[in-house]
Amino acid sequence: MEEKNKKIVGIIATVLVIVLSIFSLYRGNKEKPKKINEIEIGKDEQNSIVGKKIPEFKLNNLKGEEITDKVFNDYELTIVPMWQSTCSPCITELEALNKIHKEYKDSGVNVLGIVIDGEVNEAAAKKVVDTIEIEFNNIVPDEDYIYKLIEFAQSTPTAFFIDNKGNFLMKPKEGTSGMDKDIEEFKAIIEKLTSSRD
Q: Which amino acid does the sequence have at 191? A: E
pLDDT of residue 48: 84
The contacts of residue 191 (CB under 8 Å, 6+ apart) are none
* Interatomic CA distance for residues 178 and 195, integer angstroms: 25
Chain mean pLDDT for the chain: 84
Q: Nearest 10 degrees: CA dihedral of 25, 50, 73, 105? A: 50
pLDDT of residue 174: 94
* Interatomic CA distance for residues 16 and 49, integer angstroms: 22
pLDDT of residue 1: 58
Q: For 103-147, write each residue's pLDDT tens digit.
A: 999 999 999 999 999 888 999 999 999 999 999 999 999 999 999
pLDDT of residue 197: 58
Taking domain 2-196, whether its CATH number is 3.40.30.10 is answered by yes
pLDDT of residue 69: 97
pTM value > 0.85? no
Measured at the CA of 139, the angle between CA 191 and CA 32, to 5 degrees, comes to 50
Number of C-beta neighbours around residue 23 at 10 A: 14
Cβ atoms 82, 162 nearer than 8 A: no
pLDDT of residue 195: 85
| Average pLDDT per 10 consecutive residues for the chain, totaling 198 residues | 58 54 44 39 58 96 96 97 96 97 96 93 95 96 93 92 97 94 97 80
Q: Which residue in 130, 150, 120, 125 sits closest to 9, CA to CA?
A: 120
